[in-house]
């Protein structure tokens, strides 16, 4: 039994780790979200990580077709099909208007558009400005948060959603998803 104990503990400990040592010895916080389409099929993975030089969103996903898509962080950690409206509004702790091109500045839920080529693959590494992962004003507050990909490109100005259309892909970031 003792020989099997380490094998049994490794998955249990990995699922609740929140801090990951980096090569430089500093500590980073990492959370992930598995992305799904409305039919429940897998669509990709998103990771938010705190590093020495900031907080970054990494995305590896597969779009339904070639094209450009709007993407936002949403305030509620729920992704109930078929429309993902359960994810609530954009995550906006500072109560700003929508739009990366808004003269008053973008809110924290505003993200860049992503483009899928003929292979439908989407990849992104994006630095999230002035971003807090967890805590009372963080994305991972009591009800978590979500990443939503919309059917059309965000126009970066129309309030509240950038005229980006229906929510077609969704993934939940929650405290329990830290790795």
Domain ranges of the chain: 5-177
Judge whether 84 and 72 are in contact, CB under 8 Å. Answer: no
**pLDDT at position 70, please?**
93
- The mean predicted confidence, pLDDT, of the chain is 79
**pLDDT at position 69, please?**
96
d(CA 149, CA 155): 14
pLDDT band of 33, cuts 50, 70, 90: very high
Does 143 score more than 80 pLDDT? yes
d(CA 119, CA 126): 21
**pLDDT at position 168, please?**
97
Read off the pLDDT of residues 58-101 as tens digits, 9 standing for 90 and up: 999 999 999 999 999 999 999 999 999 999 888 777 766 666 66
pLDDT band of 175, cuts 50, 70, 90: low
Total-model pTM:
0.80
Does 146 score more than 50 pLDDT? yes
Who has greater pLDDT, 175 or 141? 141
Q: Which CATH number describes the domain made up of 5-177?
A: 2.60.40.200
Does 106 score more than 90 pLDDT? no
**pLDDT at position 159, please?**
66
Who has greater pLDDT, 17 or 21? 21
**Both structure tokens of 17:** 């780790």
Paired residues of 61 in beta bridges: 44, 122
Mean pLDDT in residue range 106-124: 90
Judge whether 24 and 52 are in contact, CB under 8 Å. Answer: yes
d(CA 58, CA 20): 16
Does 5 score more than 50 pLDDT? no
**pLDDT at position 95, please?**
65
Who has greater pLDDT, 101 or 118? 118
């Amino acid at each position: 039994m003792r020989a099997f104990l380490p094998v049994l503990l490794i998955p249990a400990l990995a699922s609740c780790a929140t801090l990951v040592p980096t090569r430089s010895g500093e500590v980073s916080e990492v959370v992930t979200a598995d992305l799904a389409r409305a039919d429940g099929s897998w669509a990709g993975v998103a990771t938010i990580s705190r590093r020495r030089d900031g907080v970054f969103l990494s995305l590896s996903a597969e779009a339904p077709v070639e094209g450009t898509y709007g993407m936002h962080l949403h305030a509620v950690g729920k992704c109930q099909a078929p429309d993902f409206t359960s994810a609530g509004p954009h995550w906006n702790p500072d109560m700003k208007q929508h739009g990366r091109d808004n003269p008053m500045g973008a809110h924290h839920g505003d993200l860049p558009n992503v483009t899928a080529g003929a292979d439908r693959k989407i990849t992104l590494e994006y630095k999230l400005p002035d971003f807090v992962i967890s805590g009372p004003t963080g994305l991972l507050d009591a009800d978590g948060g979500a990443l939503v990909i919309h059917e059309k490109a965000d126009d970066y100005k129309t309030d509240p959603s950038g005229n980006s259309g229906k929510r077609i892909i969704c993934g939940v970031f929650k405290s329990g998803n830290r790795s």
